[in-house]
């Protein structure tokens, strides 16, 4: 055992939620310790190898799946959390989803919530994506959407002078993504916060009904120590937060339940000529459908190969036409039928199974919506002039004509039939609301039954956001600061942000 660390605030997790909370509390003068399970990898150290980035920055090297093994759940596991791996997409929470949350007892009043959004948008520099950074496939999708009867829209992103390398999901090695690693965490450190990477929280310390910090394992050498804190904030994400609650024996009836996702998969399309869609931002436009979203998503070769359907020579021959290929994904919000739980393996062999399991089967209605979205995306690509489309059906097929698109739904009978089915947006699991029987956290972000323990991440969401949740997580964490710290967060002064951005020396920059 190492000596204990004494602090005012312990924040578990350094992503979208933890970063915001750590910064505001540290700025207020509290002593803050942030614990992160993953490593700290600065932009300058992010190499060009996709494989190395996936292994280093993604939770379990990108191999986290549900218990049935037919769904990937991608999350970041590094300082900055999943914000390091996003495409920088920043959506405000749709108003109808905000109202749905309110109906479930988690009211985020419009005015203060809008102020929270405005504060985080300003701090992470959310602006419309520079059109010069769009890749060639963005224009094709725009045309396809129009011909299909819809409209493609651009994104607002938290980029600073994006260079359009097209590899956002591997972390920005040019230092242009204003993620938590680049903004909230160093800003919190500038105000005295201590950030410890590669430290896993085994359980929350509870003394006389109060949270008193956490029991921590240093993953580098296995040594254990305690961080004793007056208040503890869980921001370990929609899988990590309920996992820690369950390991600590807290809220056993509700923790881990009501997990929801934005699920999806990628559709690839081939055009007659070289389009070199890898040149430019990999996610330039999106198209809103009836209850789903299609987002352009062109991956660099390694990730592209992993999501392209097909086997053997055919797969290799398709990859040889990489310059003519592009892809887009669909996002379908699911019902909250998922569950994060500790499996029996952990009781029998805790060293081997020291992680939470995720149980999720796509409800029938959501499956139909997914099939509908994939079919529509195939139509959009054909309308854009694709010579063939490769939908992610387990039985690899090619679609060359509009009428062939109708075959897709018939091939999707379960999520196992969808190649590359998964989610990078898990939510819920420690849901907030006013019904103590169905929620883990009360509307003021406090965990029920324990004093001084709060949750400030996507696990409090009562329902899926339907859009990329990064910005909403930050805004909700901003709102949580009011309960945790007892004060209204102030806008981030530019003198906090500027020195940090100026000091960065992104890789590959020639001056």
Partner 1 sequence: MTSERSFSIDFFVAKAAAMIVAATPLWIATSPLWIAFVRRQRRLAVTQGLRSLMPVQIRTLARYAEAMMGTGEPQEVWDRVALRIDRFLATHRTSPRAWRVPMMILALEIAPIFTGRLPASWISRRSLRCFVITRLSTATGVWGRLAITRQLIRMAYYDDPVLQARIGYLPLECRSNPARGPRPTPKLSLPTESHARLVGANF
| Binders of partner 1 in range 214-253 (CB under 8 A) | 219-220
Please report, as residue ranges, which positions from 131 to 160 form the binding site for partner 1 (by CB under 8 A). 132-133, 160
Please report, as residue ranges, which positions from 336 to 355 form the binding site for partner 1 (by CB under 8 A). 337, 343-345, 352-355
Residue 165: other Cβ atoms inside 10 A:
20
Which residues are 333's β-sheet partners?
Answer: 262
Q: Tell me, residue by residue from 157 to 196, as one string, x for binding to partner 1 by CB under 8 A and - for no binding.
A: ---xx-xxxx-------xxx-x------------------
Q: Please report whether residue 75 would count as binding partner 1 according to CB under 8 A.
A: no
| Binds partner 1 (CB under 8 A): choice among 23, 322, 421, 454 | 322
Please report, as residue ranges, which positions from 113 to 132 form the binding site for partner 1 (by CB under 8 A). 122, 125, 127, 132
Q: Please report whether residue 509 would count as binding partner 1 according to CB under 8 A.
A: yes
3-state secondary structure of 346: helix
Spatial contact of 206 and 447, defined as CB atoms under 8 Å apart: no
Residue 375: other Cβ atoms inside 10 A:
20
| Binds partner 1 (CB under 8 A): choice among 232, 241, 339, 415 | 415
Total residues interacting with partner 1, rule: CB under 8 A = 87
Q: Please report whether residue 103 would count as binding partner 1 according to CB under 8 A.
A: no
Closest CA to 360 of 236, 257, 243, 245: 257
Q: Please report whether residue 510 would count as binding partner 1 according to CB under 8 A.
A: yes
Secondary structure (DSSP) of 289-340: -SS-EEEE-PPPHHHHHHHS---HHHHHHHHTTGGGEEEEEEEEE--S-BEE
Report the C-alpha gap between 412 and 418 in whole angstroms.
Answer: 7
Closer to partner 1 by CB, 25 or 497: give it: 497
Closer to partner 1 by CB, 325 or 432: give it: 325
Please report, as residue ranges, which positions from 18 to 57 form the binding site for partner 1 (by CB under 8 A). 48-52, 54-56
- Give the up-direction half-sphere exposure of residue 27: CA atoms within 13 A in the CB hemisphere: 22
Please report, as residue ranges, which positions from 301 to 320 form the binding site for partner 1 (by CB under 8 A). 301-302, 304-306, 311-313, 315-316, 319-320
Which token pair is 493?
């002064």
Q: Which stretch binds partner 1 (CB under 8 A): 2-10, 244-252, 478-486, 492-500?
A: 492-500
Closer to partner 1 by CB, 132 or 401: give it: 132
Q: Please report whether residue 367 would count as binding partner 1 according to CB under 8 A.
A: yes
Closest CA to 74 of 169, 173, 159: 169
Report the C-alpha gap between 399 and 403 in whole angstroms.
Answer: 9
């Amino acid at each position: 055992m190492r000596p204990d660390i004494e602090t005012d605030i312990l924040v578990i997790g350094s992503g979208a939620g933890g970063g915001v909370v750590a910064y505001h509390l540290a700025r207020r003068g509290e002593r803050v310790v942030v614990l992160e399970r993953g490593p700290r990898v600065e932009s300058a150290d992010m190499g060009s190898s996709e494989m190395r980035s996936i292994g280093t920055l993604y939770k379990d090297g990108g191999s986290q799946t549900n218990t049935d093994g037919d769904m990937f759940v991608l999350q970041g596991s590094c300082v900055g959390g999943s914000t390091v791996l996003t495409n920088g997409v920043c959506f405000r929470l749709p108003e109808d989803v905000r109202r749905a949350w309110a109906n479930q007892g988690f009211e985020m009043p419009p005015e203060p919530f809008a102020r929270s959004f405005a504060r985080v948008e300003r701090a992470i520099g959310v602006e419309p994506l520079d059109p010069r950074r769009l890749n060639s496939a963005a224009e094709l999708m725009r045309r396809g959407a129009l011909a299909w009867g819809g409209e493609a829209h651009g994104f607002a992103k938290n980029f600073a002078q994006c260079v359009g390398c097209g590899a956002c999901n591997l972390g920005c090695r040019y230092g242009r993504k204003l993620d938590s690693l680049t903004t909230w965490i160093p800003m919190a450190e500038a105000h005295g916060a201590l950030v410890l990477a590669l430290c896993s929280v085994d359980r929350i310390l509870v003394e006389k009904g109060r949270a008193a910090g956490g029991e921590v394992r240093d993953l580098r050498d296995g040594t254990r120590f305690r961080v004793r804190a007056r208040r503890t904030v869980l921001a370990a994400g929609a899988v990590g937060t309920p996992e820690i609650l369950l390991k600590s024996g807290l809220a056993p009836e509700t923790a881990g339940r009501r997990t929801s996702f934005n699920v999806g998969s990628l559709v690839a399309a081939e055009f007659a000529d070289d389009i070199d869609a890898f040149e430019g931002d990999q996610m330039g436009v999106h198209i809103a459908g009836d209850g789903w979203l299609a987002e352009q998503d062109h991956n660099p070769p390694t990730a592209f190969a992993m999501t392209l359907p097909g086997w053997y020579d055919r797969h290799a021959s398709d990859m040889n036409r990489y310059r003519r290929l592009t892809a887009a994904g669909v996002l379908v919000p699911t019902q909250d039928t998922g569950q994060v739980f500790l499996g029996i393996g952990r009781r029998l062999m805790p060293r081997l199974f020291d992680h939470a399991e995720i149980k999720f089967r796509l409800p029938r209605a959501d499956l139909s919506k997914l099939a509908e979205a994939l079919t529509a995306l195939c139509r959009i690509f054909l309308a854009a002039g694709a010579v063939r489309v490769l939908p992610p059906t387990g039985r690899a097929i090619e679609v060359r004509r509009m009428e062939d698109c109708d075959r897709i739904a018939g091939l999707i009978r379960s999520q196992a039939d969808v190649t590359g089915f998964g989610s990078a947006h898990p939510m819920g699991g420690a849901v907030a609301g006013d019904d103590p029987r169905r929620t883990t956290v009360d509307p003021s972000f406090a965990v029920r039954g324990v004093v001084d323990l709060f949750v400030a991440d996507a696990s409090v969401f009562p329902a899926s956001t339907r859009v990329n949740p990064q910005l909403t997580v930050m805004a909700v964490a901003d709102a949580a600061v009011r309960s945790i710290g007892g004060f209204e967060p102030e806008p981030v002064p530019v003198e906090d942000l500027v020195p940090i951005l100026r000091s960065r020396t992104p890789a590959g920059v020639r001056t």
